[in-house]
Amino acid sequence: PLTLPPGSPLLLSWDTCISTFALLATDQETFQTNDSFQTWTRVRAPPGILSDAQRHSLMDVIIFDQGTLFLVDSTVYLRTEDEFTKLGERRGISETGILGFSKRRWCQIRYLYKLASKKSILVAWSKTTVYAGYPTFRFVTLTNTAKLKDNFKLPETDTLEVMSVEYLWHPLELAVLLSHCSVCTTNTRNIRVVIYSAISETWTLQDFELQVSKEAVLGFRFLYSAMPDIIMWDQYHVYYSYKNFTVVGTISTSSGETNLSSLSQGSHVHQVFTDRIGNVLVKMENNVMFYIKADITEAVMLHTWVNTTAKTVVMFNKSFEVCILYYNENLDEKYQLQTQPYPLILELQSINKDLGDWCPYLAFQHNIHSQFYHMDKGESLTIWSQIVYPENRGLYIVVDHYGSSVMTWTQNLEYEIASGFCTKTMITRFFQTTNYELVDNYYQLQKENTGLMLLQFRPSEFSRTCLTAKP
């Protein structure tokens, strides 16, 4: 069998657009499913490719419909219907030293790429190098730490290491999490974020800095939002960066405690699970769970749902509802994997009753029914949005935008107050003002005014009890 090192918590990877297609790695077996583990098959490595020690040294896994990548020790292996092979320099990636890999977390199947074959489907990284992987599982080097130090005018004597890489919601951008220190004798190190744009092929150092302990192993996710909102974590803490790196800090509980491990009998952070409506679940290795809402800096502990010794992982079912997957190697083979729906909304209502938390608005509606809208020259797009809230609360609708500034817009507001409630309706019209008539540089002007702009309509205030933080 192909397994994680002994004692490792469960590791799950699922297809971005088809959540039922998934792979679960344990310290006993590795399982693959097409139906959310109603049925499954065991994953095996052919004889002669891996040593006995390597078979029990699986560090990471990532699944695609074209094949599955396994990180064994620090080497990448590709498994398809036809082969199980080690990837190396012939494929454009180092044979050793790879620390991890990542793919897009959000399904963007409706976005039409002009050059789909040239779009990367994953990124891999070592301490010094970032690689982009393509549908044929060939890689190219995007950058290395020497180039980044040169780009940002850092002294050559500084130490810069790649910790993790993730895609943004923006389909043509990714971010690199870097560890930076000038004098590396202290017990802390600075964490920096660099964003790469595939449109302009540029690297931009963000106005973000976080100090963590030298031993911290960091992971991070971009939330489902137009602006680059980040949830980051190590073994003990969860950090946040909201509103395009302008609001940064450490998630705390209502008592002010930031060390989630101390609130869960010393257990470590196992999994950080995010969805499309702003919910963030932090699962500890002993199954204690904390809940965070996007743009909110406080975590609450959820009621105990699973005993502390069960081996579990949080996942989506076929309807993209939250489920808990249980693994018990001591049961009969057909019962070793079991899924159970997790009633997140009911659990939140239960804890919010004690906390006295309530949503500041009664309703927030809009007519946005697609992830992407394609607009040609001369076309316009009209968005209707409305918020209803108790009178004198002073709420309003915020429009966040990120990416290319190729559009302008106008807004028309209407107010209505009745029976102690205020209704604000906003009509927003997006269009271009560029005049292409009788110009000499038509194609250049067209190129300059073509781009991708990310927009998000949201209430000015929300809380944990609002069903959607960022509709």
Share of the chain above pLDDT 90, in %: 79
Same domain, yes or no: 367 and 335: no
Same domain, yes or no: 186 and 69: no
Same domain, yes or no: 94 and 185: yes
Q: Is residue 401 part of a domain?
A: yes
Residue 323's domain spans which residues?
A: 81-355
Residue 352: what pLDDT? 77
Domain boundary among 80, 114, 143: 80
Q: Is residue 234 part of a domain?
A: yes
Is 363:385 a contact under the CB 8 Å cutoff? no
Higher pLDDT, 277 or 302: 302
**In terms of Cα–Cα distance, which of 233, 207, 234 is closest to 221?**
233
Residue 119: what pLDDT? 87
Same domain, yes or no: 176 and 320: yes
Same domain, yes or no: 263 and 371: no
Q: What is the pLDDT of residues 22-31, one digit of tens each?
A: 999 999 999 9
Residue 116 sits at φ, ψ, to 5 deg, of -60, -35
Same domain, yes or no: 312 and 387: no
Same domain, yes or no: 237 and 307: yes
Same domain, yes or no: 339 and 382: no
Tokens of 153: 């005018």
Q: In 3-state terms, what secondary structure has residue 397?
A: strand
Same domain, yes or no: 157 and 303: yes
Q: In 3-state terms, what secondary structure has residue 310?
A: coil
DSSP string of 18-34?
A: -TTSEEEE-SS-EEEES
Is 39:33 a contact under the CB 8 Å cutoff? yes
Amino acid letter for position 278: G
Q: What is the pLDDT of residues 237-262, one digit of tens each?
A: 999 999 999 999 999 999 999 999 99
Sheet with 247-250, side-by-side order of all strands: 219-222, 230-233, 238-242, 247-250
Number of domains forming the structure of the chain: 3
Higher pLDDT, 278 or 314: 314
Mean pLDDT (the chain) is 93
Residue 182: what pLDDT? 86
Domain boundary among 80, 101, 132: 80
pLDDT at 470 over 70: no
What would the mean pLDDT of 131-153 be, rounded to a whole number?
Answer: 96
The pTM assigned to this predicted structure is 0.93
CA-CA distance, 76 to 104, in Å (whole number)? Answer: 19
Same domain, yes or no: 88 and 221: yes
Q: What is the pLDDT of residues 87-119, one digit of tens each?
A: 999 999 999 999 999 999 988 876 756 666 678
Q: What is the pLDDT of residues 180-225, one digit of tens each?
A: 988 887 888 899 999 999 988 999 999 998 999 988 999 999 999 9
Same domain, yes or no: 67 and 123: no
What would the mean pLDDT of 295-314 be, rounded to a whole number?
Answer: 94
CATH number of the CATH domain containing 443: 2.60.40
Domain boundary among 25, 59, 80: 80
Same domain, yes or no: 196 and 292: yes
CATH number of the CATH domain containing 124: 2.130.10
Q: Is residue 469 part of a domain?
A: no
**In terms of Cα–Cα distance, which of 134, 147, 200 is closest to 178?**
147
CA-CA distance, 469 to 457, in Å (whole number)? Answer: 10
Q: Fill in the DSSP letter of residue 159.
A: E
Of the pLDDT bands very low, low, confident and very high (cuts 50, 70, 90), residue 357 is confident
CA-CA distance, 183 to 117, in Å (whole number)? Answer: 43
pLDDT at 61 over 90: yes
Q: What is the pLDDT of residues 402-446, one digit of tens each?
A: 999 999 999 999 999 999 999 999 999 999 999 998 899 999 999
